[in-house]
Amino acid sequence: MTGIDAVRLNFNASTLHLLNAILGLVMFGVALDMRLEDFHRIRRDPRPVLIGLAGHYLVFPALTFLLVLALRPAPSIALGMMLIASCPAGNISNFLVHLARGNTVLSVSISSTSTVLSIVATPLVLRWWGSLYPPTRALLQAVAVDPLEMFVTIVALLGIPIAIGLTMQLRAPALAERLRTPAKQLSVVIFALFLVGALAANWRYFLEYVDGVAIAVALHNALALTTGYLTARAMGLPERDRRAVAFEVGIQNSGLGLILVFTFFDGLGGMAIVAAWWGVWHIIAGLSLATVWSRRAP
């Protein structure tokens, strides 16, 4: 076992529970800018959702495989990259799309649908691409995604906060208007604090090993964001939709990835550090891109 694979990160369920609570608060703020008619528009024309899902589960994993072939990282790091590419969209993507002045309703639609599909898609995508690359084939395990956990994720992180936000718009529009800007600002501060805490908890591991995964994760994340945007552009979607698809492909549920690493791969260090560093890096890269786009009208 290589040095990186012997690492066991400071990981516990309370960290994910805290992140989920933060995301629930963020989604309430995002919902204050949504309109019910936007959801009806998506229902009438589901094509943008299908394009986002195709970019997420088909195009990006295939390009990840090509990136692995080009970089030839350690097998556990390669499998970690494939695992990330097979995970559903991360819920922070909705906040980033909102900040970037993209189509937030489309973002929520793709996130929730990809989460439901992950019950089948995540194991299949990981198994397919992991088995095609000989160095990762020996590390593969039978991965399963808990349907109940996915249902709870959708309801708790998306359904309830959005329902409360939309209800407030209908019943107390003046209050919703007053809360809209402070909620967005508070979300950025909270995510920044969580990011600092996540780094501090595993600082010595990151210092020792992150150089082995930092370049791979940065390239991988840049590939994901670019894949989403260009896929949407190639299919003729408008700019607001392109921004949404870019983040839906570029922001993966690395928390679920970590859970799968610790559940099925005994916390294998290379995979765990890829998933953990992705969780840190995609917030940094996502906030940076969203800030740039927030200053440019779609």
User: Number of structural domains, the chain?
Assistant: 1
pLDDT category, 15, cuts 50, 70, 90?
low
φ, ψ of residue 89 in degrees (nearest 5): -65, 145
Query: What is the Cα–Cα distance from 54 to 58, expressed in whole angstroms?
Result: 5
pLDDT category, 7, cuts 50, 70, 90?
low
What residues pair up with 252 in beta bridges, in sequence order? 89
Place of tokens 């209050």: 175
pLDDT category, 220, cuts 50, 70, 90?
very high
Please classify residue 24 by burial: count the beta carbons closer than 10 Å to its beta carbon, then call 0-12 exposed, 13-18 middle and 19+ buried. middle
Please classify residue 156 by burial: count the beta carbons closer than 10 Å to its beta carbon, then call 0-12 exposed, 13-18 middle and 19+ buried. middle
Instruction: Tell me the CATH number at 278.
Output: 1.20.1530.20
Residues 107-152: tens digit of each pLDDT: 988 887 887 788 788 888 998 999 999 998 888 876 766 777 667 7
Q: Are 241 and 220 in contact (CB under 8 A)?
A: no
**What integer pLDDT is reported at residue 1 of this predicted model?**
43
Tokens of 139: 């590390």
266: left (phi over 0), alpha (psi -120 to 50) or beta: left
φ, ψ of residue 266 in degrees (nearest 5): 55, 35
pTM over 0.85: no
SS3 89: strand
**What is the residue range of 249's domain?**
4-294
